[in-house]
């Protein structure tokens, strides 16, 4: 790629939608440099091919700036879990995953719990209030839960389509409960997608993967590119961007050290997303009676871009 002349790169990129150009810019330093140096030429060609005259050049530049802005908590709201809720209580429901404090999501089942999130806002305080309202509404089972999921998805789709809004995921933040819980989260993975109906098959391939070597083996089978990093003195995996609709973000192991109950894991490649997924692989059992998963926080950090 380093030897490819800039005009050829600009010509190739000009056939892509803006969202794909942003994704390519996040993968390759050469493409990023080319986009910055030839931004106006590229912008003009994209507009001529996609008839997006409503996007001004200053807005185009602002999108690039937003892409590289400092990370903050992104407003993804959990709307689905197949793990159940401990004792069927709203006290332990999935929206605790995005609430600071002593809240906790506690599952019924012990392994391979999938939690789905949807991008629902840009203001964290507003969404915390919304999350608390959903918790207090008590809709977490049966037909009520289905209605609840549809409502969040509808709100998310309305929100993201109004101004072509995307999240750029740059970090994953997770926290295990610090006391009073018997099965704190041990291993998990995170994924993202732009479309809500992205293929979940790639997530299923990582069910039960509780060692980094097994995670590498499955990743190699799927042709995924990854890097091994260290966080909390433990080996973790972060994934590069791929061409799949469902993007793997990381495979992670939580520390057994009480003083390292939080994990802040930077990603090597920025991910454009409207949906976020947490695969809770297993918990670390501390007694012989309970067998579920307890997790205080699991949320992405990054920035919001408006096309």
Whether 26 and 122 map to the same domain: the answer is no
Secondary structure of residue 260 in the 3-state scheme? helix
Whether 156 and 234 map to the same domain: the answer is yes
In a domain, 133, yes or no: yes
Whether 52 and 81 map to the same domain: the answer is no
Whether 118 and 209 map to the same domain: the answer is yes
Q: Which of 67, 88, 119 is a domain's end point?
A: 67
Secondary structure of residue 270 in the 3-state scheme? strand
Rounded Cα distance, 98 and 50, in Å: 37
| pTM exceeds cut of 0.85 | no
Q: Which of 67, 91, 113 is a domain's end point?
A: 67
In a domain, 257, yes or no: yes
Q: Which of 67, 89, 110 is a domain's end point?
A: 67
Whether 167 and 302 map to the same domain: the answer is yes
Instruction: With CA atoms as reference, report the closest residue to 42 among 2, 11, 5.
Output: 11
Burial class (CB in 10 A: 0-12, 13-18, 19+), 247: buried
pLDDT in tens, the chain (307 residues): 567 888 888 878 777 766 677 777 767 778 878 877 877 677 666 655 544 445 566 666 677 677 777 778 888 888 889 998 887 777 888 888 988 777 899 999 999 999 999 998 765 445 544 554 454 444 445 545 555 677 778 888 887 776 678 888 999 999 999 778 899 999 999 999 988 878 899 999 999 999 999 999 999 999 999 999 998 889 999 998 787 889 999 999 999 887 788 999 999 888 888 999 999 999 998 888 889 999 999 999 998 887 6
Whether 194 and 97 map to the same domain: the answer is yes
In a domain, 267, yes or no: yes
Beta strands, E only, the chain? 72-73, 75-81, 105-106, 111-121, 165-175, 185-193, 226-231, 234-239, 247-253, 262-273, 275-283, 294-295, 297-306
Beta bridge partners of 182: none
Q: What is the CATH number of the domain that holds 110?
A: 2.60.120.260
Instruction: With CA atoms as reference, report the closest residue to 190 among 305, 84, 281, 292.
Output: 281
Rounded Cα distance, 73 and 300, in Å: 6
Instruction: With CA atoms as reference, report the closest residue to 166 among 12, 306, 292, 33.
Output: 306
Question: Are 128 and 99 in contact, with CB atoms under 8 Å apart?
Answer: yes
Whether 20 and 96 map to the same domain: the answer is no
Q: φ and ψ at 233, to 5 degrees?
A: 65, 25
Whether 33 and 164 map to the same domain: the answer is no
In a domain, 228, yes or no: yes
Whether 160 and 234 map to the same domain: the answer is yes
Whether 144 and 58 map to the same domain: the answer is no
In a domain, 141, yes or no: yes
Q: Domains in the chain: how many in total?
A: 2
Q: Which residues contact residue 108 at a Cβ distance below 8 angstroms, ignoring those fewer than 6 apart?
A: 83, 84, 85, 86, 292
Whether 81 and 33 map to the same domain: the answer is no
Which residue range(s) make up the domain with 186? Answer: 72-306
The pLDDT of residue 103: 84
Tokens coding 83: 């793990």
In a domain, 1, yes or no: no
In a domain, 229, yes or no: yes
Instruction: With CA atoms as reference, report the closest residue to 99 among 69, 64, 134.
Output: 134
Rounded Cα distance, 252 and 95, in Å: 21
In a domain, 167, yes or no: yes
The pLDDT of residue 128: 47
Q: Which residues contact residue 287 at a Cβ distance below 8 angstroms, ignoring those fewer than 6 apart?
A: 182
Whether 17 and 138 map to the same domain: the answer is no
Radius of gyration of the chain (CA): 20
């Amino acid at each position: 790629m380093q030897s490819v002349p800039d005009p050829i790169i600009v010509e190739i990129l000009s056939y892509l939608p803006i969202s794909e150009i942003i994704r390519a810019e996040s993968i390759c330093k050469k493409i990023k440099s080319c986009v910055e140096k030839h931004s106006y030429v590229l912008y003009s060609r994209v507009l001529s091919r996609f008839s997006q005259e409503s996007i001004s050049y200053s807005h185009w530049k602002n999108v690039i700036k937003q892409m590289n802005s400092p990370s903050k908590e992104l407003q993804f709201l959990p709307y689905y879990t197949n793990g159940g809720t401990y004792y069927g209580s709203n006290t332990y429901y999935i929206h605790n995953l995005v609430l600071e404090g002593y809240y906790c999501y506690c599952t019924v089942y012990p392994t391979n719990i999938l939690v789905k999130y949807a991008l629902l806002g840009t203001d964290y305080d507003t969404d915390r209030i919304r999350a608390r309202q959903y918790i207090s509404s008590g809709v977490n089972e049966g037909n009520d839960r289905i209605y609840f999921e549809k409502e969040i998805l509808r709100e998310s789709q309305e929100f993201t389509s109004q101004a072509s809004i995307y999240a750029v995921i740059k970090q994953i933040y997770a926290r295990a409960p610090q006391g009073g819980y018997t099965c704190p989260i041990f291993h998990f993975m995170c994924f993202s997608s732009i479309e809500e109906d992205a293929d979940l098959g790639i997530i299923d391939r990582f069910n039960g993967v509780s060692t980094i070597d097994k995670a590498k083996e499955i990743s190699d089978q799927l042709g995924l590119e990854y890097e091994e990093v260290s966080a909390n003195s433990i080996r973790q995996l972060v994934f590069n961007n791929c061409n799949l609709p469902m993007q793997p973000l990381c495979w992670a192991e939580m520390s057994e050290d009480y003083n390292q109950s939080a994990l802040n894991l930077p990603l090597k490649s920025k991910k454009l997303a409207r949906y976020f997924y947490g695969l809770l692989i297993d918990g670390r059992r501390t007694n012989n009676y309970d067998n579920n998963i307890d997790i205080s926080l699991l949320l992405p950090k990054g920035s919001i871009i408006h096309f």
